[in-house]
Structure 1
């Protein structure tokens, strides 16, 4: 069977022989065997499905390190879904995560964007500052107790406003999302939160995902080092802490993020 004919049979439904490999809370994922094995992903949020499909198409056009998109839902399909080529790869060990991340991340951050914000399924912004203000308003609305923190961050965003050229960001970097193929190539998976923006936001979100008390250890991954860049990294780190404190479904995560914000003297 040719690859094209195999893809023609993918319609988003879960075959009887599929094996569920769900690990997160928002989506369900299956491994499907056959002439062309693939990963079937059902999304709780249609905008995330549209965004991941758009990100994978863009990455493929740039020959970037990502899974191949085989098919995706269209319109009002319920549930929204994507089918991605199965990978013969394993997660990079935690002690190798940062060193192995450097090369694929640099390749991704070379892909230029056309706007700021998600690639599809959400509002697009003309400026990075506008995108950040929009996110801060969302966090403040979700967590009224943190509105004072959000106001301080709004002011810092305005004070640091400089022209930013948008590039592709993964925006959910964490152990488990970086895989190593048998030949040694590294691939990044799970692109549903991808955006166009400032590359330092990717590093700041990574620092939050790693539970770091300070984002400095990830600064070595920045392609544009310098005092101004490091200052922006710390600002974005606090914004991502606020996001977790306001929106995480895990109470322990919310409490840790809120505590870290207080410790960083944002208020």
Structure 2
């Protein structure tokens, strides 16, 4: 994390250069959320602003465009009536803050727990559909140079390369990659995709949309991709029963979008992009650990998010099994697994589980001393300890995960193979009960696969 004195001095230089006034006396506040970039709220001459920056310059390597293009893109969307922030300054090298830009702060919250409890979720869903349709009206002539146009097959190939680089040993992801290769649709006239349009990136006050945030992966592509992404199970948070942004039904969301955009949404394309983005986010989670190991960002949240890959594997299997033969879908969940051998401590010694629990309980006692992002990180730390404790009891498959992944990528019988779906189901349940036992889709999967209420 950036040194507080460096942050203060850099913001003072930005404020002076951009004519924002005198930097306020209070320390900038690190905002929670944001799995990729940092956000800091600060005051200057009694006005509130937000700094959005990369955790390091190394973190920007390999990205299709930098923060200057992102800032110009936000300005273009704002000019076209999208509820986007107003960008007031782009960071320069002399500012000493790395890569990023400053926006005028908007009212409202991005906290999904608060937003999903709003008084008028249906009205908010219509506003979200409206803004997404406005984003999709933007064309290359409306935005700065450098915003890429998606080549569908090249994008799938890139995901496959990421998978192999990460070890190529996650069979469910391999199954998803092969499905994408076999079901890739023809390309359509590209529209500007926000790329991350979902709960958590929408700013809301009451039941009113006040801002669309985080434009760093915007690109030109199929409008169905943006629509599908916000409907993924992971972005519904605790409202699995309201699949469209956690606010309502997909049917109502699409109907509102079609009315605003004047187009018809195709169910098959919507399903393709739902599966594509589920694979995409599974690999995005997996990459977090690599970023931590490389030193590009040593934030605790990185390694914990990497363990959320299992959430996407569960969601992916629930999506893909629709194509499996009826007989395989009805087969009982298989348990061809063996427990990991464990080395027990001497009699009377505290166990690993007890040590982890003790640290977690101590962290809870100091929670009241924390605020802002530190309080959020404390919760992440306790989550990490929970994963360690639960992993003591995980069961591992006798199947070679790399061999099975290669089998799926080769396009062999896949889910037509007798009993294979049942094995994958068991494996997915084992992984997620360790990594994310409160994930809302887990209850749905256990009811569907095990008959639990």
Instruction: Please classify the TM superposition score into its range, dividing by the shorter chain length.
Output: 0.7 to 0.9
Match of 1:136 in 2: 159
Q: Match of 1:207, SS?
A: coil
Contact 1:65–1:104 at 8 Å: present in 2 too? yes
Question: Paired residues, what number?
Answer: 251
Contact 2:115–2:206 at 8 Å: present in 1 too? no
Q: Match of 2:51, SS?
A: strand
Structure 2 counterpart of 1:89, from 78, 88, 108: 108
5+ residue gaps, structure 2: 1-13, 289-304, 322-413, 415-453
Per the alignment, do residues 85 and 134 of structure 1 end up closer, same or farther by CA in structure 2, a change over 3 Å counting?
A: farther
Distance, in Å, in 2 between the alignment partners of 1:214 and 1:112 is: 31
| 2:199 aligned with 1:175 | yes
Match of 2:231 in 1: 207
Distance, in Å, in 2 between the alignment partners of 1:261 and 1:183 is: 31
Deviation at 1:239, TM superposition (A): 0.9
Distance, in Å, in 2 between the alignment partners of 1:7 and 1:252 is: 42
Match of 1:233 in 2: 270
Deviates more, 1:27-36 or 1:16-25: 16-25
Distance, in Å, in 2 between the alignment partners of 1:155 and 1:10 is: 54
Deviation at 1:63, TM superposition (A): 3.4
Match of 1:259 in 2: 314
Distance, in Å, in 2 between the alignment partners of 1:130 and 1:260 is: 22
C-alpha root-mean-square deviation of aligned residues, in Å? 3.6
Q: Match of 2:217, SS?
A: coil
Per the alignment, do residues 10 and 176 of structure 1 end up closer, same or farther by CA in structure 2, a change over 3 Å counting?
A: farther
Distance, in Å, in 1 between the alignment partners of 2:319 and 2:208 is: 39
5+ residue gaps, structure 1: none
Distance, in Å, in 1 between the alignment partners of 2:41 and 2:277 is: 32
Distance, in Å, in 1 between the alignment partners of 2:242 and 2:318 is: 11
Distance, in Å, in 2 between the alignment partners of 1:183 and 1:151 is: 41
Deviation at 1:139, TM superposition (A): 4.0
Match of 1:8 in 2: 17
Match of 2:36 in 1: 26
Q: Match of 1:37, SS?
A: strand
Contact 1:104–1:186 at 8 Å: present in 2 too? no
Mapping for residues 92-241 of structure 1, pairs under 5 Å: 93-95=115-117, 96=121, 97-113=124-140, 120=146, 124-125=148-149, 128-141=151-164, 142=166, 144-145=168-169, 146-157=173-184, 160-161=185-186, 163-180=187-204, 186-208=210-232, 209-210=235-236, 217-219=249-251, 220-221=253-254, 222-223=257-258, 224-226=263-265, 229-241=266-278
Distance, in Å, in 1 between the alignment partners of 2:129 and 2:208 is: 14
Deviation at 1:235, TM superposition (A): 0.7
| 2:53 aligned with 1:53 | no
Per the alignment, do residues 264 and 64 of structure 1 end up closer, same or farther by CA in structure 2, a change over 3 Å counting?
A: closer
Question: Structure 2 length as normaliser, TM-score?
Answer: 0.48
Deviation at 1:256, TM superposition (A): 1.5
Higher relative strand content: 1
Higher relative helix content: 2
Deviation at 1:258, TM superposition (A): 0.9
Distance, in Å, in 1 between the alignment partners of 2:167 and 2:69 is: 26
**Runs of 4+ that moved beyond 6 A:** 213-216
Contact 2:24–2:44 at 8 Å: present in 1 too? no
Question: Structure 1 length as normaliser, TM-score?
Answer: 0.76
